[in-house]
Amino acid sequence: MASKEILLLVLCWGFVVLATTSFGANVTYDHRAVVIGGKRRVLISGSIHYPRSTPEMWPDLIQKSKDGGLDVIETYVFWNLHEPVRNQYNFEGRYDLVKFVKLVAEAGLYAHLRIGPYVCAEWNFGGFPLWLHFIPGIQFRTDNEPFKAEMQRFTAKIVDMMKQEKLYASQGGPIILSQIENEYGNIDSAYGAAGKSYIKWAAGMALSLDTGVPWVMCQQSDAPDPIINTCNGFYCDQFTPNSNNKPKMWTENWSGWFLSFGGAVPYRPVEDLAFAVARFFQRGGTFQNYYMYHGGTNFDRTSGGPFISTSYDYDAPLDEYGLIRQPKWGHLKDLHKAIKLCEAALVATDPTYPSLGPNLEATVYKTGSGLCSAFLANIGTNSDVTVKFNGNSYLLPAWSVSILPDCKNVVFNTAKINSVTLVPSFSRQSLQVAADSSDAIGSGWSYINEPVGISKDDAFTKPGLLEQINTTADQSDYLWYSLSTNIKADEPLLEDGSKTVLHVQSLGHALHAFINGKLVGSGYGSSSNAKVTVDFPIALAPGKNTFDLLSLTVGLQNYGAFYEKTGAGITGPVQLKGSGNGTNIDLSSQQWTYQTGLKGEELNFPSGSSTQWDSKSTLPKLQPLVWYKVIFIFHYIFYSVHQLKDLNVGIKNF
């Protein structure tokens, strides 16, 4: 190798090392900002939850975040993924937290690690592993010794892991902030004095882990010093931290919202989102995080609940698949540039508020050294207004903020979108032939029937109706409640059979009822009320009748005081009701046989071998319990509405 090439190599290597280790910095804060390496910073952050995409997607998502003007990537840490069984850890594949944080560093971005370990996040059981619920004497999120011991063990495990990999900024890594707990202040009153002492304990425990970077607590107005209390919400400009020594930080600016099954697809106009961000920086904020910047997908059974959908798209600047969502992404990118042009003035001084008039607000950041940046806001929702500021006239559209990095020229107004509107158009072009070629017969679909009722060896019998989560330990969404009972020929119920109903009450979330192998009805709750009460008309025959009730959970609750105590399943009563008085039969306390999970899950569908899957060209229809499978790829084409001449076409396979 020629010496010139060696020199070049050494130079390149030096550059890479520099690029990935340029963080080594003390992180502190003062009343104005987070201070990194002695410098106050204006920081724009965005949430990307690593298990909601694939490791293959991470570099692209992070790069698109950087291109969009982010400085920081925020993620929660998901305890129930990492420790599915107590003391058995999993940090592989989509769960590879270290890899994710390292990729953030490689892109030259900072990280905010919200350890929780309670995370809410529309995540199954709020991120807590189910086994936690079975620890004797445990009470979640309060001053309870068994809970605190487990919370401390997991938090310390994560902190140690980050330390070993030198991922804290104090060690040269990208992590500049960590969060303990999550929005406990929203529900702490339900826990009384024990809630207050728990939060003090959590603060002390976190600080004792000695990360070398600040800790935050969101929505916790009494966060003990030196922990920074931060704001979550659609607007946080009116927020003030609980001490003059703490900066004004916004950890969750909801870029859209999550989708529930049966609910409307959420949408937050970018003009409003940009308005909220500009108002926050106008009024002294210096750290703002989009929740979510990329929402992604709730894979497997990770959705919280009840009834949180598998898509966690969130109307975020990067859509579920990681594609740039326009004009959201582009308008925010323009906003971030405008805010960064003001950074030097913003962090150097406190603002003044010269009067502009009702529903109007001017904010000026002016330093002795001649820096001057200003924000002009029209917070009225009805009319555009022309204002006079520093001798010049400015038109302020309703509900908008103009940013003037030099106190004179407007570089950005939140209501005026200049970025292109790219509209992705999805088209299904072909069904992929699966590895098993028999799957490709006909339309590409194949199926397997699921037996009705008990089919597994581990079924068991107990008197009475059992609560579902305590029975399944969330090993499956499904629990069969089965019963065979003898109906006597002279049973009054049979006299007017046409009026008999099966009455079932369930704590949720959904159920299917079968009598003698036939579906008699289905019912389900909703995200606001998971309970199900049904009355299915039935026809009973004298002699043996079999009742098979299949109860389903659709994501375990993730929010609210004592949410871990919310039950599910058919806790009763289950009754056969006739039309006349005294003709009811209560089945609730009979001997029920229980089966957790379905046969299909036991056989590990849908990845079961090809011989189990039937791919006849006509699929069974209108049959209650069938597993269907298809594998497909989709292509997308996107084009620019504003620039149709330069048609921008991209095709990608997933």
Catalytic residues, by residue number, are 183, 252
Q: Is 88 helix (H, G, I), strand (E, B) or coil?
A: strand
Report the alpha-carbon distance of residue 192 to residue 198 in Å, rounded.
Answer: 10
Q: Which of 50, 100, 250, 258 binds ligand GAL (CB under 6 A)?
A: 258
Cα atoms found within 13 Å of the Cα of residue 382, Cβ hemisphere only: 2
Report the alpha-carbon distance of residue 220 to residue 234 in Å, rounded.
Answer: 17
How big is the site for ligand GAL, counted in residues (CB under 6 A)?
Answer: 9
Q: Which stretch binds ligand GAL (CB under 6 A): 31-39, 105-113, 116-124, 590-598?
A: 116-124
Q: Which stretch binds ligand GAL (CB under 6 A): 118-126, 237-245, 366-374, 392-400?
A: 118-126
Report the alpha-carbon distance of residue 498 to residue 504 in Å, rounded.
Answer: 18
**CB-closest chain residue to ligand GAL:** 120
DSSP 155: H
Strands (E), 80-134: 110-116
Q: Which stretch binds ligand GAL (CB under 6 A): 119-127, 460-468, 516-524, 618-626?
A: 119-127
DSSP 566: -
Shortest Å distance, C-beta 219 to ligand GAL: 7
Give the residue with the Cβ less far from ligand GAL, 71 or 181.
181
**Of the candidates 379, 416, 418, the residue with the CA atom closest to the CA atom of residue 399:** 379
Give the residue with the Cβ less far from ligand GAL, 239 or 375.
239
Give the residue with the Cβ less far from ligand GAL, 182 or 302.
182
Shortest Å distance, C-beta 74 to ligand GAL: 11
180 touches ligand GAL by CB under 6 A:
no
Q: Which of 53, 144, 229, 232 binds ligand GAL (CB under 6 A)?
A: 232
Query: Scanning residues 234 to 253, which ones bind ligand GAL (CB under 6 A)?
Result: 252
Give the residue with the Cβ less far from ligand GAL, 78 or 613.
78
Give the residue with the Cβ less far from ligand GAL, 186 or 476.
186
Query: Scanning residues 395 to 424, which ones bind ligand GAL (CB under 6 A)?
Result: none
Query: Could you give the strand order of the β-sheet that contains 400-404, starting from the edge strand earlier in sequence?
Result: 360-366, 372-378, 400-404, 412-413
Q: Which of 183, 343, 477, 564 binds ligand GAL (CB under 6 A)?
A: 183
Report the alpha-carbon distance of residue 75 to residue 58 in Å, rounded.
Answer: 12
Q: Which two tokens stand for residue 249?
A: 């930080």
Shortest Å distance, C-beta 553 to ligand GAL: 19
Give the residue with the Cβ less far from ligand GAL, 76 or 547.
76
Report the alpha-carbon distance of residue 125 to residue 301 in Å, rounded.
Answer: 11
Q: Which of 35, 72, 115, 121 binds ligand GAL (CB under 6 A)?
A: 121
Give the residue with the Cβ less far from ligand GAL, 83 or 252.
252
Through-space distance between the first and last CA atoms of the chain, rounded to whole angstroms: 42
Report the alpha-carbon distance of residue 500 to residue 577 in Å, rounded.
Answer: 6
Q: Is 98 helix (H, G, I), strand (E, B) or coil?
A: helix
What one-character-per-residue DSSP string does 239-274 give?
Answer: ---SSTTS--EEEEEESS---BTTSPPP---HHHHH
Give the residue with the Cβ less far from ligand GAL, 232 or 326.
232
Q: Is 503 helix (H, G, I), strand (E, B) or coil?
A: strand
Angle at 406 between CA 403 and CA 407, to 5 degrees: 65
Q: Which stretch binds ligand GAL (CB under 6 A): 31-39, 114-122, 444-452, 529-537?
A: 114-122
Shortest Å distance, C-beta 218 to ligand GAL: 6
- Under a CB-based contact definition with an 8 Å cutoff, are residues 585 and 575 in contact? yes
- Whether residue 327 has a cis bond before it, omega within 30° of 0: yes
Query: Scanning residues 265 to 304, which ones bind ligand GAL (CB under 6 A)?
Result: none
Report the b/e string of 298-310 with b at 16+ CB within 10 A: beeebbbbbbbbe
- Under a CB-based contact definition with an 8 Å cutoff, are residues 246 and 29 in contact? yes
Shortest Å distance, C-beta 110 to ligand GAL: 20
Q: Which of 142, 178, 182, 349 binds ligand GAL (CB under 6 A)?
A: 182
- Under a CB-based contact definition with an 8 Å cutoff, are residues 111 and 176 in contact? yes
Amino acid, res. 273:
L
Q: Alpha carbon of 637 to those of 58, 346, 425, 525, 640: distances in Å? A: 22, 41, 5, 38, 10
Shortest Å distance, C-beta 186 to ligand GAL: 7
What one-character-per-residue DSSP string does 157-184 give?
Answer: HHHHHHHHTT-BGGGTSSEEEEEES-SG
Shortest Å distance, C-beta 260 to ligand GAL: 11
Give the residue with the Cβ less far from ligand GAL, 71 or 252.
252
Q: Which two tokens stand for residue 417?
A: 């979108």
Residue window 69-108: x/- pattern of binding to ligand GAL, with contact defined by CB under 6 A = ----------------------------------------
Q: Which of 101, 103, 120, 374 binds ligand GAL (CB under 6 A)?
A: 120
Q: Is 96 helix (H, G, I), strand (E, B) or coil?
A: coil
Shortest Å distance, C-beta 53 to ligand GAL: 17
Q: Which of 122, 271, 313, 319 binds ligand GAL (CB under 6 A)?
A: 122
Q: Which two tokens stand for residue 610?
A: 């090809």
Give the residue with the Cβ less far from ligand GAL, 311 or 584.
311
Shortest Å distance, C-beta 314 to ligand GAL: 7
- Under a CB-based contact definition with an 8 Å cutoff, are residues 68 and 277 in contact? no
Residue window 299-328: x/- pattern of binding to ligand GAL, with contact defined by CB under 6 A = ------------------------------
Give the residue with the Cβ less far from ligand GAL, 120 or 454.
120
- Under a CB-based contact definition with an 8 Å cutoff, are residues 579 and 525 in contact? no
Shortest Å distance, C-beta 235 to ligand GAL: 14
Shortest Å distance, C-beta 585 to ligand GAL: 44
Q: Which residues bind ligand GAL (CB under 6 A)?
A: 119-122, 182-183, 232, 252, 258
